[in-house]
Structures are given as structure tokens and as C-alpha cells.
Structure 1
Amino acid sequence: MTYVLKSKNKSLELSKPIIMGILNATPDSFSDGGQFNTYETACQHADEMIAHGAQIIDIGGESTRPGAPDVSLEEELARVIPVIEHVSKKDVWISIDTSKPEVMKQAVEAGAHLINDVRALQEPGALEVAASLNVPVCLMHMQGTPRTMQTAPKYQDVIEDIAVFFEQRIKACIDAGIKREHIILDPGFGFGKTLEHNLTILKNQKAFHRFDLPVLIGLSRKSMFKHLLNRDVEERLAGSLAGAMISAQKGAHIIRVHDVAETVDVLTVVDVCQE
């Protein structure tokens, strides 16, 4: 099934997996916190990811790592809006990684095409604002909150529990006026999951195709590779690339990564070898 995302008179075909490059304009993100939290370094990194083949740049101003503190609305806007305005001059889609309705609104006004919300539009007012903006939304599953999500997460059946959550959030979105063709699903690797949960999701990604919606996979440099491979965050490239390859082979439509050039190489090899 080929999906086509549409936003602001731009189209993005998902006939094969595409790359979403991660741009954390934050001082404390788990992998690259502080590397790109000035306007100059953030813009430079965005330009590099675009040059390396990213078709979406995902810009976030609040870390969602385990235990991350809250960030004020004013601070988050100050971190992301100038960078969005810079990237909007490029031929690339822009995703705003936020749960705050006002950040969604101002980001889309500044040039963002997509809302990527780890809380799946559950914050007060988020559904209504997202519907009014008429852009695609990515709904991610998370058990708990960033502060609590890794405190002994438990599921009866991790795949089916996530599927039930997706059913509920899809219905809530459609009831709020969001078009079904604007919905993307993300099972949320590392967000309230143990290593076993993450590996089960990785093996069973095709289960989420039942919704006939694009699936986004984000496992780049996640702590699952620390637990599986005993690798520090700067040593997780190989594991991340293996995860991206498996996800592509299992039908993921968007793969969210830190290492764009390397992942593009992997997906190119996967693509030419598809039967």
C-alpha cells in the first residue's frame, strides 16, 4: 500500500521508507543534548541532514528522555520557531515534535507540515488545535509520562495493548475532525517499554499495518541497544542501523534517525535487493 501525505500544498509519497532526521534543539536530550541548542548549530545540522537525504526534519525543543524536566511554553517556542523558519526555506518537510497546542499552532504558522506528538494529542486542547491546523499528525504510544515511563512498565500483551491504544486515539482524532489520511502511528520504542517489549515490537511491526495507516519507527540510539549490546549512546550506530534495516523490511514507512547518511545507505541497499 502506497500512502501519500499532504500538507500545505506539498505531497510526500511513502511508497518506500523515508528518513526523518532528528533535530533536538535542547540542552538535555538523551543522545545529542547540547550539540544543536544554538540557532547556528541547529540550522547547520538541519542543512547537513537535508543534504544527506532526509525528507523530513523533526524539530523538538523539549527532551522526552526518561526523567526529563518540563520546559516552559516560552522556552520551547524560543528554541524551535527560529529553526523552523530557517528550514522552511528548504525543499523538505518539517515536523514539530511537541505536545503543547500553542507550539503546534505557532510551528505550523512558521512552516511546519507535520505534528509529531509523543503524547498522541492527549494534552488539553491538543486535539482541537491539531484538527484546526489541517496537517498530518503522528500519534505515538507511551506508557506513563517521560518522568515515569521506565518505572517497571508492564503489559498483558504489548502488541495488542498498543493496538487498543491506537484504536482509541484514531477514533478520538476522527471525532475531533482530523482526517484519517492525516494520521501516522508510532509504537513508541523506549517509551514505557523494557528491552523485551522493544524487541517484541521490532519483531512484530507488521501487526500495526492492520490500521491501514503509515507507521513511523523511531529506535535510533535508544537505550534498548545499551541493554542488548552493552553500548554507550555514542556507540549505538550499528544497532540503530540494524533496527532501521529490519523496520524497512517489515514495512515501516518513516524511519526517525540521528544518523541520516548512514541510514540512507542502508535503506538504499535494502531497496535494491527487494524481491
Structure 2
Amino acid sequence: MPREAPYLAVAEVLRARVRAGEWEIGERLPSRARLAEEYGVGRNVVQRAVDRLIIDGLLEGRAGSGTYVRLPRERLRLVRSRHRDRRGGSLPDLGERGRANAWDAHSQVRVPAPGAIAERLAISPGDPCVHTHYEFLADGRPVQLSESWEPMAVTDGTPIVLPEKGPLAGKGVVERMRSIGVVIESVVEVPRPARATQAQAHLLGIGVGDLVLQIERTIYDTDGRPVETADMVIPDALREVVYEFGVDRP
């Protein structure tokens, strides 16, 4: 098996020392030169290790002063619930603390469906779709991304063809589809761990390769027809995702 990169090994040792309380919150770490000498590595290796822990939110760099142990970032809970998520999934749970309270969206029409998306929507590859990219913000900070696809065979020629424009802009899939006589019956979500791509890391303010939760969601109408599918990306360092299920009463 390939050996672990030296900077990752140093980062894990430093991480363990910080978590053990060797340096308190707000305390400055030894200089990079001193750490390099202690671990028998080059300063560039220590620099990369420290940068890794800064990205992870464990340390913070202060210009002209050094590197300090930072106050841990709060990991907020995101509840995925059929009882609370009344927008049909356009926004994260409206009842969560630190919830997404703003979003940016950009839609393109007549985008040919890629093969994997076409399979999820039960259409042919290349069939025209509305493709919408979402960036969700909480207190001005990005907390979630989403890439949504809706087959134009369902919405073309209707007032709801663009999810974030028209009379039902921002109302969510369930309400929008209901307005054109399409009744939503079920939502299927498949969560998978993944690593942030360069583009995702840039938008979310995290490091490339950081752990994210990718949720593949598909929404079906009463005929079992997929009317929307989306890939949601949630940074693991900032969000703990919890699923809530109701219990049918006799």
C-alpha cells in the first residue's frame, strides 16, 4: 500500500495534540521551524500540515503573529423530514437552527439530459430538461449546494417551467407541480459520503477532498413518474444530517 504523505502524518499528530488539550483555545502553536525540527521534516511539510488543520477549522492563522488554536466551529443539525420540509426539498428544513435563509439559483432550459440523469428521470439521454444550480446560504455563509433536473416534457409551456421565476417562484416542487395538475406522492433520497471537488470546495468554503454528504433525491408523482431529480451536497464539517420519520397510527 502507498505510504501516507508526510504532511498528513504531521497533521494527524498535531490534531491529536490539540484535541488532547496540549494547547488551549486561543494559544499560539510553536513556530513552524520548531515543529519541523521536532518532527524531522522540512518546513514546507509543516506548512502543509498546518494549512490542512486551518481548512478543517481546528487552527487559525493570524498575519504576522503565528498559528493559534481556534474556537471549534459549531456543527449544526439539518433535519430531513417529510413533516417539516414542505417546500418539496427546494430548501433545507425550515425548522432547523442556523437554517438556510437565502439562496441563489440559476436555471438553464432545454439542457440535454446526461445518461445518468436520464436514467433517474426515466427519459431518453439527450431529452430536454430544465437544469437549476442552487447555492443555499445561512447567515451569509454557504451551507449546501444542489443541482436539480426537471424533464421539460412535464413543465414545458406552463408558468412553472423555471423553478425560481413565475407566479410560484421558490415554492418548491410539490406546490409547483400541483398547480399544473401533477400530484407528488413520494420522495426517494439516497445519501452517500463523498469528497468535495474543487468547484464544490470553492463554493462551500471548504478544502478540496473534504468530506461531504451527497444526497441523490428523486421526486415521483402518483403514477410513479419521476418529475424531478437532484444532487445535494452538504459539507460534513458544518452540518450533521438527521432523518426524521413519522409512525403510522392504527
Fold in common (TM above 0.5): no
Q: Higher strand proportion, which one? A: 2
Q: Higher helix proportion, which one? A: 1
Q: Structure 2 length as normaliser, TM-score?
A: 0.25
Q: Structure 1 length as normaliser, TM-score?
A: 0.23
